[in-house]
Amino acid sequence: MSSPKQSIIRARDIMSPSLVTIGGMATAKEAANKMRAERISAIIVEKRHEDDAWGLIAVQDLIREVIIPGRSFEDVHVYEIMTKPVIAVPAEMDIRYVARLLHRAGIRRAPVEENRAIVGMIALRSLILDHDIF
């Protein structure tokens, strides 16, 4: 007996379309305040110019690079502790491949890219907790 064919769920179908960005020269304090205000755990770091790569700063970066070593949130800049370049997933990528890519890369979230622009964020957590896809 064969099961009915499931439609393919793409990254764009489950991404969070709201994007929060910050400049690399912002302080860790500004990044933390923005995360708290938006109730998010990662922010896209803006490109400096068209040929630059996107960056990402996450709560884990703040913990590992500021809190644990005892640095001041006011004295640390985003560019010092961000991940750059980031792994971005195509908006049309099947979520099975998104999950595999993020898991194998050891990351929890990634920007979703379409036409060389970031159009959303996708997180492993949301695959299970935020969507009824399985």
Question: Interior CA angle at 111 toward 65 and 99, to 5°?
Answer: 95
Q: What is the 3 state secondary structure string of 11-49?
A: HHHHCECCCCEECCCCEHHHHHHHHHHHCCCEEEECCCC
Residue 2 located in a structural domain: no
Confidence of residue 7 (pLDDT cuts 50, 70, 90): confident
Residue 69 located in a structural domain: yes
pLDDT for residue 49 is more than 80: yes
How buried is 28 (Cβ within 10 angstroms: 0-12 exposed, 13-18 middle, 19+ buried)?
A: buried
Give the per-residue pLDDT at 118: 94
Residue 119 located in a structural domain: yes
Confidence of residue 74 (pLDDT cuts 50, 70, 90): very high
Give the per-residue pLDDT at 133: 61
Instruction: Read off the CATH number of the domain in which 68 is found.
Output: 3.10.580.10
Residue 89 located in a structural domain: yes
Residue 42 located in a structural domain: yes
Count of structural domains within the chain? 1
Q: Which domain holds residue 43?
A: 11-129
pLDDT for residue 2 is more than 50: no
- Quote the tokens at residue 95: 């979520």
Residue 6 located in a structural domain: no
pLDDT for residue 46 is more than 90: yes
Count the neighbouring beta carbons within 10 Å of the beta carbon of residue 50. Answer: 6
Q: What confidence tens digit (pLDDT) does each residue in 89-103 have?
A: 999 999 999 999 999
Residue 3 located in a structural domain: no
What mean pLDDT do residues 28-56 have?
A: 94
pTM over 0.85: no
Rounded to whole angstroms, what are the CA distances from 71 to 46, 66, 74, 83, 84? Answer: 24, 5, 9, 18, 21
Residue 39 located in a structural domain: yes
